[in-house]
Amino acid sequence: MKLAAKLVDLRKDYVLKGETVRALRGVSFDVPVGDYVAIMGPSGSGKSTLLNLLGCLDRPTSGSLFLGEDDVSKMNDNQLSRTRATSIGFVFQSYNLIQQLTVLENIEVPLYYQGRLSKESRERCRLLAEMVGLQERLSHRPSQLSGGQQQRVAIARSLVNDPYFILADEPTGNLDSATTEEILRLFENLNEMGKTIIMVTHENDVAGRAKRIVRLRDGKLQSDTTLREGPAQSRSAESASAIEEIRAAIGSDSNKAL
């Protein structure tokens, strides 16, 4: 079984005012390629710390964290930064778009910082914008978009590097129920195409759309529940069409574990 991520006895300690806070206390679980995992837990459970480690924003105190076959717990700052920029797709609650840039330019940002922006990659970014339903908004700026449209830009941006997984932090937290449904359906379509998704959420309804729910409590793994292994639901003609658009946008020749 090919893994997008593997956590082995992951521990993270912080020293605050002379006292050691054990944020993670030996968390272990696997994320197979093509999985869709929701991470849940009350305040102080360690889910934000785990999110930072999975996003290569921090290093564990001990234990191992593999992305694909690379143990990021052994990486230096430059290696972590490179992995963060090239191998993980981020989707945030607050979208994190650059207000001065257009929709298309925001999607291109990761490639621009890596010096990989070309005619071919720009076309791929345009296809990704079309895939999330923003083909009529390519020249619009974030202030001209709804919250759902801004999140669609963020999802398209998360795909440009063919990441090991999409790491989503409360991606529907700022959205109304109808828009939340649209975004969750888009995540399901991406997962149906083989994209690995790790989502942090506090909403049971949102977590229930994933394939697994991993619950943390007091820095430990409380439970790991499989909800389903196959597609979320039978696919309508509209959903099947969306999947075909995703296939065209992301391609089928990825070199990474997706």
- What is the chain's length? 258
DSSP state for residue 69 in the 8-state scheme: T
Handedness of CA 146, 242, 163, 254 (dihedral sign): negative
Q: In a structure prediction context, what are the per-residue pLDDT tens digits for the chain, which is 258 residues long?
A: 899 999 999 999 999 888 999 999 999 999 999 999 999 999 999 999 999 999 999 999 999 999 999 999 999 999 999 999 889 999 999 999 999 999 999 999 999 888 888 889 899 999 999 989 999 999 999 999 999 999 999 999 999 988 999 999 999 999 999 999 999 999 999 999 999 999 999 999 999 999 999 999 999 999 999 998 776 554 545 545 555 555 555 554 443 433
Spatial contact of 64 and 30, defined as CB atoms under 8 Å apart: no
Q: Which residues contact 194 (CB under 8 A, 6 or more apart)?
A: 33, 34, 258
Rounded Cα–Cα distance for residues 104 and 111 (Å): 12
Q: Tens digit of pLDDT for each residue in 133-148?
A: 999 999 999 999 999 9
**Cα 243 to Cα 53, 132, 135, 186, 200, distances in angstroms:** 31, 11, 16, 9, 24
pTM: 0.88
Please name each of the domains of the chain with its CATH number: 3-250 (3.40.50.300)
Core vs surface per residue 214-252: b (16+ CB within 10 A) or e: bbbeebebeeeeeeeeeebeeeeeebeebbebbeebbee
Looking up tokens 């717990």, which residue turns up? 73
Q: Tens digit of pLDDT for each residue in 182-197?
A: 999 999 999 999 999 9
Spatial contact of 213 and 35, defined as CB atoms under 8 Å apart: no
